[in-house]
Amino acid sequence: MKNKFIGISLTQSAQKHITNIINKNNAQQGIKIKIKKSGCAGFQYYFSIINNKDNIEKKKYYIYNEKKIKIYIPIKYMQFFDGTIIKLIKNDEINYSLQFDNAKIQQFCGCGKSFSLSKKI
């Protein structure tokens, strides 16, 4: 039996920001989001742009179409992303970053870039 995922969602500002990145890089396929062991709290989110020339094994990814953006998430990590809301936040006058509202995160490190999860990967 396959898992049924809610998926992820983007705020309007995050959608605009990601669309601009995709268009700027001619990334016709979309973006890939992964979780990797890193940072002082244990894990970090990583983005990469997927172009048409990239050879993606689609059967290894959950492909979520959110507001005309294809977001590729490795199936093995989907349980940690499911239900996450991605927001664009303003850090200061010129810098922005994407924030993940994810109920599965237990805590963030002091810098806010790495986090620990309620389940093991």
Per-residue pLDDT tens over the stretch 32-57: 888 877 766 677 778 888 877 667 77
Report d(CA 119, CA 92) in Å as an integer: 33
Per-residue pLDDT, 12? 92
In contact, 73 and 64? CB cutoff 8 Å: yes
Per-residue pLDDT, 1? 41
Report d(CA 89, CA 56) in Å as an integer: 30
